[in-house]
Amino acid sequence: MRRSGEFWELAACGAAAGGISVWVLAAAARAGWLRALLDLFPRGTWDGMTWALIPLLLLVPMMLQGTVVAEFSARPRPIARTIAGSIGGSILALAVAGILVSTVLRRIPPSRLGTLTRPLPEPLLLAAAVLLGAGSLLTAGRLAGSLPLRRAALPAAALGVAAAWLVAPGRVLSAIDVLDRIEVAGFFLGVMVGGALASAWLATRAPRPGLTGPRACRYNVRNPGRRLEHGEEGGGPSLPSMARK
């Protein structure tokens, strides 16, 4: 497979892993499961547990994303490298998105802001659902070694989302409403886009040639294939002969 094709496949797999993980965390928080987790500890420690638990939970999608990208890469890559790419790409995407959103919100009248029911438009979230479905099918195709499944991943995901929207739009909207807060939706898109692209880029980036790389042979001293006879020079003039000249 060409490097560009592998890059986009790895990015889609990473987007599926990271996006679904963020959605699961948001759904768990919406259902009160995180509050139930805090109930396992004394009430006096809730503040400290919250400050420690939230960063750890936010790192889980990016760690899972980097692990998936590293495992599916055609070349062996350290998992720490792709996880670092996922974290860095997600933070960069969140920073850029924050600047863009703040710029757009300043141009929207306050009366218009009150009519917005969702932080992101439905077409954008439906497109994200298609990307999640395609990435999931690509992941399954790579695990099963099925090339036809990988080729049909995007059309099948688009048809599946369209069918779900036509048959049960209420359920689709309820799944979208899990991302009903602007910070949750921003984190979802940041991990799914920025983290996936950065981790896939690091996974497909070719290492620089060096003394230990595949081109290291050009720096090695060539040994003669046979034993030199008395008075015969091999491999060019010697250092003393060059000095005498």
pLDDT reported for residue 221: 44
Measured torsion, CA atoms of residues 207, 200, 28, 38, in degrees rounded to the nearest 10: 20
Residue written as token pair 């750890």: 56
Nearest to 233 by CA among 151, 242, 171: 242
pLDDT reported for residue 242: 46
> Cα dihedral sign for 32, 33, 38, 39?
positive
pLDDT reported for residue 159: 95
> Would you kindly state where each structural domain of the chain is located, as residue ranges?
3-206
Instruction: For Cα atoms 35, 38, 43, give the angle at the middle one, nearest 5 degrees.
Output: 115
* CA distances in angstroms from 7 to 80, 84, 196, 217, listed in the order given: 18, 17, 10, 29
Residue written as token pair 């000095």: 243
Per-residue pLDDT of the chain (245 residues; tens, 9 = 90+): 566 788 899 999 999 999 999 999 989 888 888 777 777 777 777 777 778 788 888 899 999 999 999 988 877 778 889 999 999 999 999 898 888 877 776 776 666 655 555 666 778 888 889 999 999 999 999 888 888 999 999 999 999 999 999 998 888 888 888 887 888 888 998 999 999 999 999 988 856 554 444 444 444 444 444 555 555 555 555 544 544 55
pLDDT reported for residue 170: 87
Residue 192 in tokens: 């799914």
